[in-house]
Amino acid sequence: MSDAYILVVDDEPDIRMLLRDVLEDEGYQVALAGSVAEAKAQRRSRRPDAILLDVWMPDGDGVSLLKEWQEDEGAMCPVVMISGHGNVESAVDATRLGAYDFIEKPLTIDKLLITLNNALEAARLQRENTGLRRQVAPVADPVGSSAVMVNLRDQVQRMAQHDTWVLITGEPGAGKQTFARMLHARSARRESPFIVVSVGSMSGDEAVAELFGSEQGERVRYGLLEQASGGVLYLDEVAEMDLQTQARLLHALDTGRITRIGGDQPISVNVRVVAATQHDLGEAVEQGLFREDLYYRLNVLPLNVPPLREHAVDIPELLDYHMRQLHQQEGLPQRTFQRPALECLQQYPWPGNVRELRNLVQRLMILGSGDEITRDEVDRTLSGQPRRAEEESAEGVVTIPDLPLREAREQFEREYLMQQLERSEGNMTRLAERVGLERTHLYRKFKALGIDPRRVKSDG
pLDDT at residue 310 is higher than 80 = yes
User: CA angle, corner 403, sides to 400 and 406, nearest 5?
Assistant: 105
* CA separation, residue 263 to residues 84, 207, 209 (Å): 36, 17, 12
Tell me the domain boundaries of the chain: 5-130, 147-306, 308-398, 400-460
> Can you name the CATH fold of 5-130?
Rossmann fold (3.40.50)
Three-state secondary structure string covering 272-333? EEEEEECCCHHHHHHCCCCCHHHHHHHCCEEEECCCHHHHHHHHHHHHHHHHHHHHHHHCCC
pLDDT at 133: 39
Domain spanning 400-460, CATH architecture: Orthogonal Bundle (1.10)
pLDDT at residue 131 is higher than 60 = no
- Among residues of the chain, what percentage have pLDDT more than 70? 84
Among 173-177, 366-370, 371-375, the range scoring the smallest mean pLDDT is: 366-370
- pLDDT, averaged across the chain: 83
pLDDT in tens, 185-199: 999 998 888 998 888
Mean pLDDT of 98-124: 84
pLDDT at 439: 67
pLDDT at 278: 93
Q: Give yes or no on whether 308-398 and 400-460 have one common fold.
A: no
At residue 28, what is the residue type? Y
Mean pLDDT of 155-159: 96
**SS3 helix, strand, coil % of the chain, rounded to 5?**
50, 15, 35
pLDDT at residue 21 is higher than 50 = yes
pLDDT in tens, 44-66: 888 888 999 888 888 888 888 88
Mean pLDDT of 83-101: 72
- Residue 111 DSSP SS3: helix
Q: Which residues are paired to 325 by β-bridges?
A: none
Domain spanning 308-398, CATH architecture: Orthogonal Bundle (1.10)
Confirm whether pTM is higher than 0.75. Answer: no
Q: Just give the CATH number of 147-306.
A: 3.40.50.300
Q: Report the half-sphere exposure of 294 (CA within 13 A, side-chain side).
A: 26
Mean pLDDT of 327-344: 90
pLDDT in tens, 402-454: 556 666 677 777 777 877 777 777 777 777 777 777 666 677 777 777 777 66
Selection from 332, 406, 324 nearest residue 369 by Cα: 332
